[in-house]
Amino acid sequence: MRNKFIIYLYAYILGICLIIPNTVSAQSSENFTNDATLVSDQGRTAIILSSGIHEKKKEAVAMAILSAFDTYFFSGIAGLNDDMPLIGELETQEQKDYVKRIFKENRYTQFIGLVTEVNGSPEKMPTRQFKATIQFELKTDALYKDMLRSKVIKKDLERMNTTEIRQEIPQFTLTVVPFKPEGTTYSGILKNDYEIRNAITRIEAMLKTKKYEVKDFLAVVAAAERDLQFEMDKTVMSNDKQLINQTQADVYITVDLANNRRPDGGMGVVNLKAYEVSTGNLLSSAEGKSKRYRDYIIANLYDRALENCLDGFIQQLTSNWASKITDGNQYAINFAIAPESAIDMSTEVGSMGFPLADVLTLWIKKHAFNGKYHLAGSVDEYIKFDQVQIQQGQEQEFILSLYTYLRDELGISCNRRQSGKTYYITIQ
């Protein structure tokens, strides 16, 4: 009986000894160091510093490269791809298949150049594994294009042309208005300047040819005059702003014309600027010039000038609009305590009993678009957030939600106002 027990024990121990090496080997292929750092970004390629660990000396270098790929795909390497991972979470079958090809089928070798072992050959560690530290050339542009072709990632906005961006984002509507010097009105300019009316009509036609939805500003002005919608007790600036709002466009484009006439010919100049209606943010600007022609018609000179700048102007506008969709708009929010208020920023409020300043900071952090905000300063009398990202088109809902939170959940009376891109909230 005793001899049988010894035999069984010996067989059990021997079995464990035989199993353990295989287990370690299977796991080691996934034990990435994830310490990859950028040495230099050379545009189409990058030099990466990385280390790798493997029980086989000859495999340690490959592990260092694979570790860098793992970091780049799932964690991000500072200095590349805006510090963001190329993939992040594996959500699609295309992503899973691609990662398998890179890591299991050695496809990564297509995207690496010169490899240099920093400390010579891999060093042996106390764990009997080998560690290699390397610098290698990563063909970032080729990898990016391959991932696009494999439908693993989508193209960055910066790399898209106008047509591609328009396929990816909700489209904006446009209206075209004359540049308005101080002390003038849109109505007066349009009545007295045939060239500007003609230029606006030509720009609208060009934009419609490019499949943009254009709101007719000239028709809005005419309708307003016809229906006597101007309120005479309000300022000219207010009335002109109402006209732009009545178009219901997302973006308005201002047009300014100039010409240079000399004995040797004439030249036309067109200045375009695009602004977001809701915020007044400048989205695009361009200046177009025609060549100088001895025989000319002024309207034709402006057409040539427009043709020389419109495509670039629209590309810039579309790209900046796309960025606003993905990144949101930046506002400032200032909270102030009214002199007669019974509370200040140190007063504990809410169910958790936190100071008011902390409660406001937590709310802003939770509701800012992508969690992006910056606290500029806080004392008992006020707290200022000089940068708060708010999702495109959700500005009024954001401030209303904040106002409702203060009033209904915290029981705090307040009033609010807006000046440009700053919201002022006074706590009573």
Beta bridge partners of 334: 384, 424
pLDDT given at position 97: 92
Q: Which two tokens stand for residue 23?
A: 């287990």
Whole-prediction pTM value?
0.54
Dist CA 254 CA 282 (whole Å)? 11
Length of the chain: 428
Dist CA 374 CA 44 (whole Å)? 34
Q: How would you label 310-319 residue by residue, b for 16+ Cβ within 10 Å and e otherwise?
A: beebbbbbbb
Kindly report, residue by residue over 23-51, the tens digit of the pLDDT.
222 333 457 999 999 999 998 999 999 99
Is residue 305 a contact partner of residue 290, using CB atoms and an 8 Å limit? yes
* AA letter at 292: R
pLDDT given at position 236: 45
Dist CA 128 CA 45 (whole Å)? 34
pLDDT given at position 151: 85
**Residue 354: Cβ within 10 Å count:** 15
Helices (H), 2-52: 2-28
Kindly report, residue by residue over 59-113, the tens digit of the pLDDT.
999 999 999 999 999 999 999 988 888 898 888 899 999 999 999 998 999 999 9
Dist CA 384 CA 400 (whole Å)? 18
249: left (phi over 0), alpha (psi -120 to 50) or beta: beta
Q: What percent of the chain has pLDDT over 90?
A: 50
Closest to 163 measured CA to CA, from 368, 56, 318: 318
Average pLDDT, rounded, for the chain: 84
350 burial level (CB within 10 Å; 0-12, 13-18, 19+): middle
Q: How would you label 369-385 residue by residue, b for 16+ Cβ within 10 Å and e otherwise?
A: beeebebeebeeebbbb
Dist CA 365 CA 357 (whole Å)? 12
Dist CA 172 CA 279 (whole Å)? 14
Dist CA 303 CA 288 (whole Å)? 10
How is the chain split among helix, strand and coil, in percent rounded to 5? 45, 25, 30
What is the number of alpha carbons within 13 Å of residue 306 lying toward its C-beta? Answer: 21
Helices (H), 274-427: 298-327, 356-367, 395-404
pLDDT given at position 21: 33
Pairing verdict, β 414-419 and 112-117:
unpaired
One digit per residue, the tens of pLDDT, for the chain of length 428 reads 445 444 444 444 334 333 333 322 233 345 799 999 999 999 899 999 999 999 999 899 999 999 999 999 999 999 998 888 889 888 889 999 999 999 999 899 999 999 999 988 899 999 999 999 999 999 999 998 898 888 888 766 555 665 655 555 667 899 999 999 988 889 899 999 999 999 999 999 999 998 899 999 999 888 887 765 544 444 444 478 888 888 888 899 999 999 888 888 889 999 999 998 877 889 999 999 999 888 888 888 999 999 999 999 998 998 888 777 777 788 889 999 999 999 999 999 988 889 999 999 999 999 998 888 899 888 999 999 988 988 877 888 999 999 999 999 999 999 998 877 789 999 98
3-state secondary structure (DSSP) of residue 242: helix
